[in-house]
Amino acid sequence: MPFLLPIQTFDEPPPVAGVVVGSTELTGELTVTIGARATFAGSTELVGSLSVTLVLAGEVQGSTGLAGSLRLNDEANVFLEGTVSGSTTLEGAAPSLGTFLAGQAAGATELAGELRVKRAEEFGLTIFLDIVGEGMQGESVARYRARLLADGTEVPISSFDLNAPEGALGVSLSVSLAQPDVSLVSNASELQFDLGVWDGSAFEWVTMLAGGKLAGRELTIAFARGGPTDAVTLTLIDTVADRWTFAPEQPETLYDPDQVDEPAPPDSRNLIVNERGAGIEPVSTPVYDLTMREVLRRAYVEGCGFDNVVTNIPDFPVSQVTFSLEGGFHETVKPLLSLFEPLYFAEGNDLWIIDAGAALPAGLQPRGLPLSAVVSVTDTAPARQPLSSLIVAHRSDGRAGGDYFTERIDQESQEAGTFGVQGYTRTETERRVREYRDFDAPETIVREEVASVKVTTRDYQFNVVGRETQTDTFDALGRKGSHKRTVEALVPDLDNDGTLTLQTVSEETYTLLYRAGRSAGSDEIATTINEISGLILVDSGREYLSKPYEIPFVDAHQSGYIDPDGDQSAEFGAIRTVTEMYVREGASSEVRRQVVNHLNGGSVENTTAQTRAGSTAVSRRGQGVVRRKLTLPGAGSGRVVPTFGTGDIPGDMAIALGWRRLATLNSPPRRLSAQLPLVAFDIRRGTPAMPHSRSGVLGTYLVTATRVSGQNLGTQKQLITMSASGKELKA
């Protein structure tokens, strides 16, 4: 959006930088940079016109960049932030420059930029409350009635089984019709199942399943005891259960531009086409500061049609998710949360995703299940896997900095051939790794960098026959800037009768140059330069182009050209420079490669242009991300230590999950199964419950599944029972 902001003229040189006159107040920081020489930071007031006073150390020219975080006061929960850049034209500028002087100018400024609205921080909790009316609270209530309504008309039933299993979104219902007539319920029927409780004067109905559809039926025709015993059993599902299968109309990728590049579109071979042959183009949507909660909202609220997603899983950043036609919304999101082993269920039109391993808030009293309220209780402790430690593989953000670093040496070796016999080689690799830490948490490595790699090869007599050393350097943005690689090899020493000695035969300096990428925070490799110097054999006894012939020493050694008795010498110098330039071409890159040979007078040896698939983009943040493995120590040692992978979850959360995992393996949560004599309407999936043993409280459990069954409905043998199962909540 263009802005036209006239610059105000001052009569006198303004004394302070950053003073702006006006009455509209913007809260935040405004940084003004002109000609890349002056920077101001501070609060700024604006009204109508923008007045900027600048302290300049040179001529005013070039572009102006503004960056700020602005809050809109009139919209309490909205923050405005963004970056604005544009060019400034100064008319009648009089930057009379001394040691320093504020420039005054009248002119027009045009700014074009992109601002985004961001919600202010808001947090809280959700209270999920089951309120049981007066007529349903008694523990001796025993008079129930069940009814099935098909399009509002009651269909008599003789039995039912209402199941809310663990892992399923909704509930399923199986009923046997009192009248074995399959035509009473059709596929199109809107089904509802209610359970009524007699309050002394009438039934109070509680809807247990609404908006159900016929999933299947079974018709049995039989004769027994001299008459027909036909039966019709129907299976119903609620429409909520169907939402796990929802998918977008076209593949959609959400990505955080600050973390990853925009996904490249698929090529024509991988593009899904419709029945008319037209391609179904994927959609890529940039979402700044993309988090797990936002992914849940887009998947389950916008995608699956729920009103809300209620979860106790802590939020964390997500770099990219893709909702595909094949996987749909749920299968895409599920892996993000799998480490928490959450419990999914729907209540009303809200989706609940509950981390069953999270402890209850201190002071919250779970629903009691005294012995008087149960028929039986079974408490099962699964098999333990005693472990003393666990390796947590997690992600660290390499941009996180670190106050200081220490170094560690990683070593490994490989052997080839038979030990002690000629031909045997042993290759030793040594890496020097810098571990960056903060002063306030020195036990945590916030990032690490490989400072150098040294590869040494020894022969069967343990003589060093080769050594390669590479040292990487990184710039301030965390990008690899260059590396220097030195190669030492066993080659003839011309000053010592051609005796094989370890000499530096080549030095390679590899430099990477970047340009701004297509998305914010990303860069692309623009050019790489590989300069190779090394040991050169100069043969004065053989002239080439009126000069002594030159050849890389290693090549001369391998081809048998070296003659220690000849008029040959060795010197160190430039051998070859390889330059590669990457030109963006849609989803591919064209590589223009040039090799300059510096020997024998120098020549351009080869110039080619090739198209390679993929981009050369690198993410500053992504490049800074490293994988870390941290051992959670326990008492004792000497056991195998398994690895617990935590994917892209941030380090602190991963470590907390690791501790929980270690505790769970050593003491798995117990499982509960309880049979209730009555229907407890306030027990559902997600209810914290506290059953009792004969000597006290068994523990606190989270209900994960419930089941209500009724037999011989409408007869004197009618029996309606409820059961619940759960998982122990750890303190």
Pair 219, 282: CB distance under 8 Å: no
If one asks whether residue 476 binds another protein (CB under 8 A), the answer comes out as no
Question: Which residue, 364 or 635, has its beta carbon nearer to another protein?
Answer: 364
The residue within the footprint of another protein, chosen from 11, 74, 91, 121 (CB under 8 A), is 121
Which span sits near another protein by CB under 8 A: 96-104, 120-128, 607-615, 717-725?
120-128
d(CA 723, CA 673): 7
Question: Which residue, 131 or 188, has its beta carbon nearer to another protein?
Answer: 131
Question: Which residue, 215 or 653, has its beta carbon nearer to another protein?
Answer: 653
162 token code pair: 């209402």
If one asks whether residue 140 binds another protein (CB under 8 A), the answer comes out as no
Residue 599, classed as helix, strand or coil, is: helix
The residue within the footprint of another protein, chosen from 80, 84, 184, 206 (CB under 8 A), is 206
- Minimum CB separation of residue 679 from another protein in Å reads 10
Pair 21, 66: CB distance under 8 Å: no
If one asks whether residue 28 binds another protein (CB under 8 A), the answer comes out as no
The residue within the footprint of another protein, chosen from 76, 224, 278, 383 (CB under 8 A), is 76
Question: Which residue, 103 or 651, has its beta carbon nearer to another protein?
Answer: 651
Question: Which residue, 209 or 532, has its beta carbon nearer to another protein?
Answer: 209
The residue within the footprint of another protein, chosen from 2, 12, 125, 604 (CB under 8 A), is 125
Which span sits near another protein by CB under 8 A: 176-184, 342-350, 661-669, 690-698?
342-350
Question: Which residue, 433 or 654, has its beta carbon nearer to another protein?
Answer: 654
Burial of 511 (0-12, 13-18, 19+ CB in 10 A): middle
Per-residue DSSP letter, 49:
B
If one asks whether residue 100 binds another protein (CB under 8 A), the answer comes out as no
Between β-strands 172-177 and 191-198, what pairing exists: parallel, antiparallel or unpaired? unpaired
- Minimum CB separation of residue 140 from another protein in Å reads 15
If one asks whether residue 350 binds another protein (CB under 8 A), the answer comes out as yes
Q: Select from 567, 571, 573, 572 the least CA-distant residue to 540.
A: 567
Which span sits near another protein by CB under 8 A: 204-212, 240-248, 383-391, 575-583?
204-212
If one asks whether residue 74 binds another protein (CB under 8 A), the answer comes out as no
Pair 139, 113: CB distance under 8 Å: no
Adjacency order of strands within the sheet including 320-323: 283-286, 252-255, 320-323
**What Rg do the C-alpha atoms of the chain give, in angstroms?**
37
Q: Which residue has the tokens 């995703």?
A: 353
The residue within the footprint of another protein, chosen from 201, 268, 270, 365 (CB under 8 A), is 365
- Minimum CB separation of residue 281 from another protein in Å reads 35
Pair 700, 670: CB distance under 8 Å: no
Per-residue DSSP letter, 440:
T
The residue within the footprint of another protein, chosen from 31, 239, 308, 429 (CB under 8 A), is 308
Q: Dihedral sign, CA of 562, 567, 571, 575?
A: negative
If one asks whether residue 126 binds another protein (CB under 8 A), the answer comes out as yes
Residue 63 half-sphere exposure toward CB, CA atoms < 13 A: 8
Q: Select from 319, 314, 361 the least CA-distant residue to 339.
A: 314
d(CA 508, CA 552): 14
Which span sits near another protein by CB under 8 A: 148-156, 331-339, 446-454, 678-686?
678-686
Which span sits near another protein by CB under 8 A: 353-361, 376-384, 439-447, 511-519?
353-361
d(CA 208, CA 194): 5
If one asks whether residue 362 binds another protein (CB under 8 A), the answer comes out as yes
If one asks whether residue 341 binds another protein (CB under 8 A), the answer comes out as no
- Minimum CB separation of residue 121 from another protein in Å reads 7
If one asks whether residue 86 binds another protein (CB under 8 A), the answer comes out as no
Question: Which residue, 361 or 638, has its beta carbon nearer to another protein?
Answer: 361
If one asks whether residue 49 binds another protein (CB under 8 A), the answer comes out as no
User: Where are the extended beta strands (E) located within 494-599?
Assistant: 499-516, 522-544, 547-552, 568-585, 588-597
Q: Which residues contact 276 (CB under 8 A, 6 or more apart)?
A: none
Residue 274, sorted as left (phi over 0), alpha (psi -120 to 50) or beta, turns out to be beta
Q: Give the total of residues touching another protein (CB under 8 A).
A: 49
Pair 672, 379: CB distance under 8 Å: yes
If one asks whether residue 359 binds another protein (CB under 8 A), the answer comes out as yes
Which span sits near another protein by CB under 8 A: 39-47, 169-177, 413-421, 682-690?
682-690
Instruction: Compute CA distances 398 → 151, 204, 515, 622, whole Å.
Output: 60, 61, 21, 8
Question: Which residue, 310 or 502, has its beta carbon nearer to another protein?
Answer: 310
Pair 553, 505: CB distance under 8 Å: yes
Binding site for another protein (CB under 8 A): 76-77, 120-137, 199, 204-206, 308, 310-315, 347-348, 350, 354, 359, 361-365, 367, 681-684, 686-688
